[in-house]
A and B are shown apart, each in its own frame.
Chain A
Amino acid sequence: MPEPSVQFQGIFYQRAGREILSDLNLQIAPGETLVLVGRSGCGKTTTLKLVNGLLAPTRGKVWVEGKATDSWDPIQLRRRIGYVIQEVGLFPHFTVEQNIALVPSLENWDQDATNGRVREMLGLVGLDPEDFIHRYPSELSGGQRQRVGVARALAADPPILLMDEPFGALDPLTRHEIQREFKTLRDTLEKTLLFVTHDIGEALALGHRIGLMVEGHLTVTLTPEELLTSTDPSVRAFLQPLRMAREVQDNLG
């Protein structure tokens, strides 16, 4: 087996005396998409922030590309990891172009390479470069902003991508559309992807493997097929909404 891209080893994380993660062990292979699902407050976001060093574990080690996060230079580490959050966090005083060019410009790419990359990224996320590069985030719809957020995270071609409920704030139709497009995009990019969501449908659609988190514990890690046929009670509980939808459909014949 190749060296895991990201590895959690015996992770405990406490804040204000409360245990948020306990004994988390997990490996993500290069090119794999691992989706963490769970209720709000189960520790998914914390897990994600341990990877790019926004948080440091109380006990245990997180390995990124074979090197523990505490021995990485945090700035170098983060520039190798794309980061997309639900609120997007686009800089409101930067144009779309400047937002996407953020990491390339921090890394002092030359101007032509950056310009080309910005256009390429916009095309990749389905936005017409000529129409969008000079717009400000306030001139975009929620779905467009999220696309720009993805383009920004991909701009410096990081091998690892962290996404924290990136489509959570979108209306269901837009979300579905972006999910589908993102899946296609993901398949062509071959990035290691750690994706956090509370939407089981999204997890099933995107994940090669799905990790279920309950109150700081990673209870199971399963493929979508295994998950759907699992008899584990915590998994069954999480699949409840899907079953309801199917029952309604069946009743309608």
Chain B
Amino acid sequence: MDLWQFFVANWEEIATLTGQHLWMVVVAITVASVIGIPAGVLVTRKPSLEKGIIGFTNVVQTIPSLALFGFLIPVPLVGGIGASTAIVALTLYALLPIVRSTHAGIKGVDPSISEAGRGMGMTDFQLLWQVEMPLALGVILAGIRVAAISSVGLATIAAAIGAGGLGMFIFRGVASVNTTLILAGSIPAALLALLADFCLGQAERRLAPGKGRTLKGERRSV
């Protein structure tokens, strides 16, 4: 079979491009989390910043991805041709789900729980670190998961600005009307997305509070 033969013949290049692809996504999601989670927390503490911060991430999200990659090329420091520009673009896109989910996760903590904490004399930092973050973790991880999956898809476009990744096959395939090439790029990309979904889903299940412990209700008695 054509596609299979292509995979066998070109496995080295496919592996390289998959590696580049994964690298871009992992770096972008890590940077977006490092910026986005504190930004989301900040928004819960200073509601006056909500419009500015969430508004910015919303605006970024409305820019067509191909255009954003293009816009970044002439920007000094972050721009230019290559993977670093693509990583900046992916990071910007990943901010929205991460900032939003952090905000929503913390806002979603039962107010009576935070009130009890504050009333017992926890400092704001203790409340955040010991109570709000652990309880919001499931929601935050869900946001990171959404960001990661969409980044895997978006990163295919990064090939347009010379950043490499699985988009290389797709662009080549589109240009030469070669379905095999397009699939050689999209199938590994789809698998990467599924893998990211699975791994982060596992993390969510393992780290989110209460799960698996709440089912022992049969021990209930007055």
Contacts and interface: CB of A to CB of B under 8 A. Distances in A.
A102 interface: yes
Interface residues of B, number: 27
B210 A85 contact: no
Given A89-B113, A93-B134, A79 B222 contact: no
Given A79-B121, A93-B134, A141-B221, A87 B110 contact: yes
B191 interface: no
Contacts of B130: 91
Contact of A89 (B117, B209, B216, B219): B117
A56 B46 CA distance: 20
A136 B214 contact: yes
Contact of A140 (B120, B126, B134, B220): B220
A174 interface: yes
Interface string B31-69: 000000000000000000000000000000000000000
Contacts of A135: 219
A88 interface: yes
Contact of B115 (A85, A140, A174): A85
Interface in A153-183: 153, 162, 174
Interface string B188-222: 00000000000000000000011001101101111
B124 to A, nearest CB: 10
B217 A76 contact: no
A109 to B, nearest CB: 14
Nearest to B209: A93
B172 interface: no
Interface string B96-125: 000000000000001011011111111100
B135 interface: yes
Nearest to A143: B222
Interface in A57-105: 74-79, 83, 85-93, 102-103
B219 to A, nearest CB: 6
B135 A78 contact: no
A152 B120 CA distance: 9
Nearest to A152: B120
B221 A102 contact: no
Nearest to A78: B121
B222 A83 contact: no
A106 B213 contact: no
Nearest to A103: B120
A135 B113 CA distance: 18
Contacts of A114: none
Contacts, number: 85
Interface residues of A, number: 34
Given A136-B213, A138-B217, A139-B220, A83 B135 contact: no
A89 B112 contact: yes
Listed residue (B112, B117, B119, B220) with the most chain A CB atoms within 10 angstroms of its CB: B119
Contacts of A93: 131, 134-135, 209-210
Contact of B120 (A83, A92, A139, A141): A83
Contacts of A74: 121
Nearest to A135: B219
Contacts of B213: 136, 138-139
Contacts of B219: 135, 139
A78 B120 contact: yes
B112 A88 contact: yes
A212 to B, nearest CB: 25
A145 to B, nearest CB: 11
A79 B117 contact: no
Contacts of B123: 75
B216 A139 contact: yes
A106 B121 contact: yes
A50 to B, nearest CB: 12
13 contacts: A54-B118, A78-B120, A85-B115, A87-B110, A88-B112, A93-B134, A106-B120, A106-B122, A138-B210, A138-B214, A139-B214, A140-B220, A141-B220
Interface of A: 49, 52, 54, 74-79, 83, 85-93, 102-103, 106, 135-136, 138-141, 143-144, 152-153, 162, 174
Given A106-B122, A174-B222, 9 more contacts: A75-B123, A85-B112, A89-B116, A90-B113, A91-B116, A93-B135, A93-B209, A106-B126, A140-B220
